[in-house]
């Protein structure tokens, strides 16, 4: 039965991609770092641009960057095992788990690799190139993990669809489309935070005479910004929400809808842990939300004990249309049996 309690799917893939591969990558990076220790000067360069501005023991490089790698590994491993009833969350978490482990392994090894067999006082060269390679490898391996994380199984729901339904004549077609933008206050705060972040990165890049961090910050801010504008569509196929660049994309087939209602998200931070693509803090394994703003939202009960929340204006109209189209899809399916 589709309404029975189901375990979070693809446990094996979540353990492999979310726990084992990141642990192996991180462990291999530490092993390689320790193998390099005899080839490093007693005091390594800790900060440099055209010249070395600070030197110190290799432990500072090793343990600070290593701690970042381990912390990322542990946090994403917990999410990989505990979350992922929906494909979108599963792909994001596993892709991040593997991709970040590769990048942070590169962050651990890159400043050591450029100082192997060097004389004290030598200005390291090639650090940015090593980080670019680590970033490219992280993206590639993360994409492989995301693509192989497993699609959602088809789980047609049964019985009547709960929720108010729009009045549709037999054979009548209807489409509901809305765009989702951050609130003006959120947008203003985001611009201030983003500007301050770029300012700090720009200052640090100018001081160190290395613009890699600033360029990486620009790319990250652009990607985060693109995930703050969404297009939501309800039609005979169900509900589809996609970011302005076309990905991420969330689709709920009409025949998997068990119930739809309009609700109010009082606090995105308290209910979903923040803004953007989120999972519920109270139901991380089966709830996913596109929460760009607080206020009215479409709340969908989906087969397989999954829930989807989309914060969007005019949610009552969208919810009632989706409920009506889901009921029509259910009736059409049952008539064919």
Interatomic CA distance for residues 88 and 250, integer angstroms:
7
Per-residue pLDDT reduced to its tens digit, 196-235: 888 887 876 676 566 666 777 787 788 778 888 999 999 9
Note the pTM of the prediction, 2 decimals: 0.74
* Res 333: pLDDT: 54
* Domain residue extents for the chain: 11-147, 155-179+229-337, 183-227
DSSP characters over 168-192: --TT----EEEEE---HHHHHHHHH
Q: Quick one: which of 152, 35, 31, 148 has its CA closest to 98? A: 148
Six-digit token string for 161: 């669809």
pLDDT at 142 over 90: yes
DSSP characters over 4-48: S--PPS-HHHHHIIIIIHHHHHHHHHHHHHHHHGGGS-SSEEEEE
Q: How far is CA 263 from CA 243, 297, 311, in A?
A: 22, 5, 9
> SS3 of 236, please?
coil
* Res 171: pLDDT: 81
| Cβ contact 146:68 at 8 Å | no
pLDDT at 266 over 80: yes
Pairing of strands 295-302, 306-311: antiparallel
pLDDT at 294 over 70: yes
Strands (E), the chain: 44-48, 52-56, 176-180, 230-235, 238-243, 249-253, 257-265, 276-279, 287-291, 295-302, 306-311
Per-residue pLDDT reduced to its tens digit, 33-44: 999 999 988 888
Note every long-range contact of 119-125, with CB atoms under 8 Å and residues 24 or more positions apart, other chains counting: 119/41, 120/41, 120/42, 120/43, 120/55, 121/52, 122/45, 122/52, 123/45, 123/48, 123/50, 123/51, 123/52, 124/45, 124/48
Q: Quick one: which of 263, 304, 262 has its CA closest to 286? A: 304
Beta pairing partners, 45: 55
Model confidence at 97, in pLDDT bands (50, 70, 90)? Answer: very high
pLDDT at 330 over 90: no
Residue with structure tokens 């000067």? Answer: 41
pLDDT at 282 over 90: no
| Cβ contact 65:130 at 8 Å | no
């Amino acid at each position: 039965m589709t309404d029975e309690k189901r375990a979070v799917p693809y446990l094996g893939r979540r353990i492999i991609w979310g726990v084992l591969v990141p642990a192996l990558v991180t462990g291999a990076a530490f092993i390689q770092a320790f193998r390099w220790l005899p080839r490093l000067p007693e005091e390594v360069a800790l900060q440099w641009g055209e010249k070395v501005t600070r030197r110190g023991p290799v432990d500072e490089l090793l343990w600070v960057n290593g701690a970042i790698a381990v912390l990322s590994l542990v946090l994403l491993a917990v999410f990989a095992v505990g979350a992922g009833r929906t494909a979108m969350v599963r792909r994001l978490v596993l892709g991040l788990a593997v991709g970040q482990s590769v990048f942070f392994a590169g962050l651990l090894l890159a400043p050591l690799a450029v100082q192997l067999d060097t004389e004290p006082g030598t200005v390291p060269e090639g650090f940015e190139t090593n980080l670019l390679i680590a970033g490219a490898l992280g993206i590639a391996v993360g994409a492989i993990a995301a693509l192989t994380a497993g699609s959602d199984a088809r789980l047609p729901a049964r019985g009547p669809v709960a929720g108010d339904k729009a009045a549709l004549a037999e054979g009548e077609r209807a489409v509901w489309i809305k765009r989702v933008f951050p609130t003006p206050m959120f947008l203003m705060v985001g611009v201030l935070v983003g500007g301050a972040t770029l300012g700090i990165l720009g200052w640090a890049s100018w001081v160190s005479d290395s613009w890699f961090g600033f360029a990486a910050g620009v790319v990250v801010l652009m990607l985060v910004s693109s995930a703050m504008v969404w297009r939501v569509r309800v039609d005979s196929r169900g509900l589809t929400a996609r970011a302005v660049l076309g990905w991420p994309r969330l689709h709920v087939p009409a025949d998997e809808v068990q119930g739809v209602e309009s609700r109010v998200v009082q606090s995105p931070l308290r209910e979903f842990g923040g803004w953007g693509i989120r999972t519920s803090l109270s139901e991380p394994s089966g709830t996913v939300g596109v929460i760009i703003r607080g206020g009215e939202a479409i709340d969908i009960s989906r087969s397989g004990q999954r829930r989807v929340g989309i914060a969007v204006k005019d949610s009552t109209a969208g919810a009632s249309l989706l409920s009506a189209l889901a009921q029509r899809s259910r009736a059409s399916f049952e008539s064919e049996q």
